[in-house]
Structures are given as structure tokens and as C-alpha cells.
Amino acid sequence: MARVIVDVMLKPEILDPQGQAIARALPRLGFSGVSAVRQGKRFEVEIEGPADEAALAEVRKMAETLLANTVIEDYDVRVEA
Amino acid sequence: MSEGAGRHMADSVKRAAETPDEPMPFAELGMKSDEYDRVKAILGRRPTGSELAIYSVMWSEHCSYKSSKVHLRQFATKAPASEALLVGMGENAGVVDIGDGWAATFKIESHNHPSYVEPHQGAATGVGGIVRDIMSMGARPIAVMDALRFGAADAVDTRRVLPGVVEGISSYGNCLGLPNIGGEVVFDPCYLGNPLVNALCVGLLRKDQIKLATAPGPGNKVVLFGASTGPDGIGGASVLASATFEDESQAKRPAVQVGDPFMEKLLIECCLELYAADVVVGIQDLGAAGVSCATTELAAKGTGGMTVDLNLVPLRDPSLRPEEILMSESQERMMAVVRPDDIPAFMAICRRWDVPAAVIGEVTDTGRLVMTWDGEVIVDIPPGTAADDGPVYERPFHEPAGQAALNADTPDRLERPGDLRETLLKLLGSPNLASKEWVTNQYDRYVRSNTVLAQPADAGMLRISEVIEPERRSSAGESEPATPTDAEAGATIEHAEPTTRGIALATDGNGRYAKLDPYAGAQLALAEAYRNVAVTGANPLAVTNCLNFGSPEDPEVMWQFAEATRGLADACRTLGVPVTGGNVSFYNQTGSTAIHPTPVVGVLGVIDDVAARVPTGFVAEGLRVVLLGDTRDEFGGSEWAHVAHRHLGGLPPQADLEAEKALATVLVEAARRGLLAGSHDLSDGGLAVALAESCLARGVGATVELTGDAFTDLFSESASRALVAVRPEAYAEFASLCGRHDVPCYGLGTTGGNALVVKDVFEVPVEELRETHTAALPALFG
């Protein structure tokens, strides 16, 4: 059994109102020195067999189809160490 | 950034004069070579990259109406005299006098293509865009509506597009705190790949508060405020940037626009406070073509000149090139013209609302729009040449080759059903006629607590007791935290005196009718929206329209457009309701297959006392059920032909506008006198569906008797008809009112019981009607 992590982030040029709201809130809570925040999603996909190339390809397909909206989001697939 | 090693100098006016033969990517920007030649003739040299950016977007079909202008003029030349019209076509939205010093401003606009690419954000930013149009007139937005068209309900792509669109509309509208009070959802295979998302917004203002998009007064400052500018929706600007500077990678662009409703909410309150403080001379929202459009239009309508330093535009992405800044469609931005003395007050109000603002230029009397970047002049044009004097095309048009055959293929050849009970249930459970609760339950219909009627009522209705004044914050000293939450908690909200006055709004449009006869189809769309307003008891006053068509370069599509605009303009004149504004959406087609021509018409009406409104349907037992208007054998383009036979042919129902006007007069007068207990307009699916929906409104059944051919009586879609429920003691007075206006009036039966009974034809329990009506959409999308 292996765990595959899929990180989904808005593409860099896409406006991220939630990230901006967090960035604006931080100074109000006393955190300084933050110039920008972007918010994304992390999926932990447990697979039954080993995390070989075939399994990763399948997870990428999942990301492409369901986990990420590829019109506005990028995704990154990796095996948890 | 100006010291950055990778940064190139922008293409300046000086450089353009020195390199007259440098090829410019006008074709990639959608500009024709004769249009490009015209730009060169205007400037007496080749345009700079930034100038080309401005001309290409301002002369695009979307901004210049170059194919539609010659036809749209009829809305002005044929406009009926109307005392109610305060601001007509040509401004951001029309304004109508609704009495007692109040004015309403409303407009409908398309966001079709973006909603296909990214349904959620496309639809959301469609709402945001139309709301800013309304704000820019000086009004507080008070409600939205959406007219939607999708491909077949069971098509795979519809399952992607519809839920996203509905979610986008609901999330943006609900976050803004605006009720969504109506609209339409229609399915037809012709919209697969070309969904229509037409968003309407209505706003309220005092008559003397109207703001206009103009930049008068040399020396006045130009302020850009709202969200910062990023690489959003930059269609062709990347071509410009990379064509001149090939080493800069622009692969990531263009980007889908993402809406931020919370910023828009701040903008609304900020604008209202700016208006109340009287620190705004002219104002314009930024929509398509962003800064290009706002600067050229403001300058052209004002003293005529303006200087802008593009380095002063607040950027979300500091690597943006001037061409991209000019074309960016970043949302939630506005541009205001402000007297120099008022700048401190203006900026203080923006700070209080956490709205970034920057002075980026100044009004001049030079007659030139001059923009600089890194100290160099990169734009120097007469603004009117971009804003007003774009190309105007008299596109050729002719009747489509198959039109005569289409009209000759009448529904007479279709087999008529024997079992009318089954036909009713089949229609009632079909996607177009089924309950739209699944959609409208996702919208907030009652926020602001002035909604009197909302879906599934025939029209949305709002009470006029509004907070026009900004939701004031306690005066913001620099020491106190200017957070929205803190300030809003301490806000003292000043309520205007509640009035009894109300406005009603409806949108309608039937693409199948317009396909069969675009002239009549557009008139029928107007007639239905007009009727939907009148059945609530409100007096129809004014019109907005969204004209959705295929490619204007196709003479057959252009014929549809010419016929539809002619029909609509003629009908507006007959009904006495002027067009106040709207929008044209062309190129709704896949390959050479265009959508059905789909003129969507919105009508606004006024009612003196919302307590006199007429609710939809049968509200009590023992009422007389009365049909108004004549029923003919009219099944061309009908819902029955569509559902039972997948047939589209023949001619649409006759549009009898005099009958429509008489019917509205009767309905409004009867409501005023309190004669009507309930009402419902007849349209898709005819009397049978109107009876079923009337029973469903409150779960009250009815027993009726027909005199003619049962199938025709029940399912024909003849226009100018309505169903009303009248208290027995009021019937005589009501019948004489109908007689006085020559409105045919037929007593059909009585309300009561828990079934819809059509004597000698069928009986359906109300519960069975309800199950059939409500199950369809959840089964498809739930």
C-alpha cells in the first residue's frame, strides 16, 4: 500500500481571492513580513498496490479528470516518502 | 521594475514614427486589414503596440456593435414616446422613472462564451459585470435574474456546464447579498457547445442621483479603483507582447477571469458613499476591454482629452506589459473622474472600504488620449476614433435557404395524442417545463427582505423600501482598524421610509419560435415578458434585451438578426415600451451551425402598491377559473411538438400586439381594483400546463370544462392569453371590464379539491402533478 499526494494550486496568473483575504488578515493578527499568500488543495490518495509508474499515471488521470479543474488549476503528483 | 534586466522598452509613438514599416499583428488581434489601414489613416503613422491593443478591442464586435449598429438604431428611431424614460440607450444602462422621485435602472448582458469555457467563473463574472453596470449609473443594485440556455438536458456536456453555471451565479449573487428573483432555464440541443448565460441586474436610485460615463473639466483627476490589474482574460495582448519581444514567454496567458464578490460588495458600498459625498464627476465600470474602454469612452464623452500614466495602474502581476494592462479584463474595477480638491475625500472613502485606488491620469482639453509608460509616450490618439467612430458594417443578409421548407413543414402532419392525461404528464415532466426549484433553491431569493414575488412566480417583484445610502461605517480615524467586519458591526444603517411601491421584472425568449420566424419570435418574446409583468398587476414600462445569435458574417444569421430587431422595435412601439439598453452576442455557433436565434427580452413594470399584487396560481377554493384571450390551433414551435415528436416546423403562434395590450390593461386594472385572487400567464405547454402549475402553486385543485377540441384547447400555445382566478362576487365586474376592452373572457370552472379535473377528458391528483413536476431536474442533475 502506498500513499500518493496530489497538490492542486490555482495557476499562478489566476486571481486567488481566498489567498488575498488570508494575506490581508495576517497583519491584523500581528503577523508581519508576508507579501503574498496563495491557497490550494492537497489530496492523499491511498492505493492498494505499489506506487509504480502505472499507478502514478492512473492518479494523474484522476487529477486531470476530477481532482483539478485544469482550466484554472495546476496539479502535482508525488509519492509520500 | 524599470531597472529589471529583462524589461524591454515599450513600443513608443516615437519608435512607431521611426519604424513605419514594422509589421504589426493586427490579424492575430482579430482586426481586418482595411480596419488596420483605417487606424493608420487616423494616426498618420503605424499604431504602437498599445494603440493597436486599444483599437483592436474597441473595434471588436463586442465593443463596437459594428455589425448590429445599423439594425439597433431602430430601437431609437421607432421608440414610443415615454415620459418614464430618463436615460435611454447608449449609457451603461437605461434609467426609468418609477414615481415618487425614485428611478430604476436595469440591463441584461450576455456572458456566454466564458461560461462555456469555465462555467462557474464565467457565470459568476457575468453577474459581477452587470452589477457594475448598474452601480455606474449611480444606483444601488437590488436584484439579479438570469436567463439560461443549455444543450439537451441529458447531454454529457450539459452535466458539466449547468451545475457550474448555477453554482457560479449563486455563489457570486449570494455573496453580494442580492436576491435572484427570476429568469429562465431552457434546454435545446442547439445550445450544446454554446450555452447562453444572460445576466440581468436592476438597481434603484433617486431621480436626481443619476451618474454618467463622462470625463469633463480639464484638470480633473482620473482614478482607477477596486481590484488590482492582473493577466485576466487577455485575449490577444499576449500576441502583441510576444510578437515584438519574442524572448518573453507568454505561454501561460490568457487566463480565465476569476470573480471576487467580496471585493465587489465593498465596491458597491464604496461607490454609494462616494456618490453621497458628491465627489464623483463621471464614472465608468471596467468590463470587456478594461482600461482601454474606460479611458477612451470617458474621454470621448467629456472634454475630449486625457493623459494617463500606465505605470500608476496598481498591478497584481508586476510583469504585465502596457498592452496587457490596456486589455486586461480583471474584475471588480471602476474608473472615476474627480475634481482635484475632492481627491483627499475620495481616497479617504476608498480607504475606509479597503478599496485600493490610484490617480492614474488627468482630463485635458487637447482632444487627445495620451498614455505614457516609463516616461515615453506610447499612446496618442483622438479618443472618439476608438470609442465611437469604429467601423460600421451593413452586412449582407438573405432569408435562409431552408426557411420556406421549414415553414411549410407544419405540425399538422404530426399524430395527435389520444391520451391527453399522459401528454400532460409527459410535458410537465419534460426538462423545459419541469420545476426549476433545483436551480432556484441554490439562489438566495429573499435577502434584503424586499422580495415580494420570486420564482416560480410569473415575474419577480420587489418592494421599494431601500437603503440607498451606503451602509455607513463609523468615521474611520487612522488609528482604528479599518476592517470590513469591525466597521460593519458598528455601522448605523439608515433605512429609507418604506413605500408601498414596487417594481416587477420578467425575462422571456423562445428560440424555437424565433427560428421559425425571427420577426414574430422577437415580438412573442417581448409579449410574453410584458404579459408576465402584467399578470402580477404591475404596469409594464420599459424593455432591455440580450440578442443571442450566430455569426453575423453568415448572411442567413444576419437575416435572422435583422428580422428580430425589426420585429422587436415594431412591437415596442405598439406596446408603448421603449428599449433602454441591452447587449448583442454574436458568434454563438459551432462550426457553421448556429444556435436558434434567441432574443431574450426583459420587461420592467411598476405597481403602486405591492399589497395589490396578484399571486401566481390558485390560492383558495371556490374561485372561478377564467381564461382570457382566444385559443387557435397553433402548434408550430410548441413544447408539445418538441417533446412528443422532436419536431420544429411551421409558423409560431400569431403575435397580436393589440390583443396583448388590451389584456395587460385589463389585468393591471383588475389588480388595482382587487378583482383577481390569482393569475398565471399561458405560454409553453398552453392551458394544460398553466392549469397544472396553478394547482401546484398552493396545492389547490380545480374542475374545468372545455368547449372545443380538447387537445387544441389544452396544448395550443396561442399568445395573448392568461388564466385568472376570480372571487364569484367579483366576476360580474371583472367580466364587464373585459368586455369594455374587448378581451375575450371564458369561465372554465371552479377551484377546489385535490385534483385537476378536466371534465370528460382526465383527472390528475395534485400530488401526482407535483411528483412529475419536481422529479425531473433532480433526476438529471441531483
- pLDDT by residue for chain A (81 residues), tens only, comes to 899 999 999 998 899 999 999 998 999 999 999 999 999 999 999 999 999 999 999 999 999 999 999 989 999 999 987
Asked if residue A50 has a cis previous peptide bond (ω within 30° of 0), the answer is no
Q: Which of A9, A13, A72, A74 to mutate to test the interface with B (most CBs of B within 10 A)?
A: A13
Q: What is the DSSP letter of B340?
A: G
CA A37/CA A18 separation, integer angstroms: 9
- Considering only CB atoms, A72 lies closest to which of B121, B316, B330, namely B121
ipTM above 0.90, yes or no: no
When pLDDT is cut at 50, 70 and 90, the band that residue B487 belongs to is very low
Q: What is the pLDDT, as a whole number, of residue B471? A: 61
More confident residue, B507 or B496: B507
| Pairwise pLDDT comparison (B476 vs B185), residue with the higher score | B185
Is B455 one of the annotated binding-site residues? no
pLDDT at position B152 over 80 = yes
* Shortest CA distance from B483: residue in chain A: A28
Q: Residue B485's pLDDT is what?
A: 42
Return the closest-CA partner of residue B140 out of B273, B324, B332, B251.
Answer: B273
Looking at residues B670-697, what average pLDDT do you find?
Answer: 97
Whether B456 has a pLDDT exceeding 80, the answer reads: yes
Residue spans per domain, chain B: 13-65+209-387
Q: What percentage of chain B carries pLDDT values higher than 90?
A: 82
Residue of B nearest to A66 (CA): B160
Q: Across residues B615-622, what is the average pLDDT?
A: 96
Write the DSSP assignment of chain A as a string of letters. Answer: -EEEEEEEEE-TTS--HHHHHHHHHHHHTT---------EEEEEEEESS---HHHHHHHHHHIIIII--TTTEEEEEEE--
Mutate to test the interface with A, among B256, B315, B327, B355 (most CBs of A within 10 A): B256
- C-alpha angle B602-B588-B34 in degrees, rounded to nearest 5: 110
What mean pLDDT do residues B690-710 have? 97
Taking the domains of chain A in order of start, what are their residue ranges?
2-79
C-alpha separations of B128 from B135, B189, B769, B777 in Å:
11, 28, 37, 27
pLDDT tens by residue, B596-608: 999 999 999 999 9
Q: Give tens-digit pLDDT for B291-348.
A: 999 999 999 998 889 999 999 999 998 888 999 999 999 999 999 999 999 999 999 9
What's the whole-number average pLDDT of chain B? 91
B341/B219 Cα distance (integer angstroms): 11
- Which of B96-100, B547-551, B568-572, B649-653 is predicted least confidently? B96-100
What pTM was estimated for this model as a whole?
0.91
B246 pLDDT higher than 70 = no
**Average pLDDT over every residue of B210-227:** 91
B276 has pLDDT over 80: yes
**DSSP string for B597-625:** PEEEEEEEEEES-GGG---BS--STTPEE
DSSP per-residue letters across B557-578: HHHHHHHHHHHHHHHHHHHT--
Kindly tell me if the per-residue pLDDT of B469 is higher than 80.
Answer: no
| Per-residue three-class SS string for B455-510 | CCCCCEEEECCCCCCCCCCCCCCCCCCCCHHHHHHCCCCCCCCCCCCEEEEEEECC
A2-79 classified as CATH 3.30.1280.10:
yes
B640 phi and psi, to 5 degrees? Answer: -60, -50
The residue written with cell numbers 490577444 in the block is: B236
What pLDDT sits at residue B474? 46
- The CATH class for the domain spanning B13-65+209-387 reads alpha beta
* Contact by Cβ (8 Å): B696, B436: no
CA distance B453 to B332: 29
Residues B640-659 have pLDDT tens digits of 999 999 999 999 999 999 99
The better pLDDT of the pair B641, B246 is held by B641
Q: Which residue has the higher pLDDT, B527 or B470?
A: B527
Give me the pLDDT at residue B252, please: 44
Is there a catalytic annotation at residue B111?
yes
Q: Is there a contact between A13 and B263 if contact means CB atoms under 8 Å apart?
A: no
Mean pLDDT of B582-593: 92
State the pLDDT at residue B481.
41
Residues B618-628 have a mean pLDDT of 97
Active-site residue, B71 included: no
DSSP 8-state class, residue B287: B
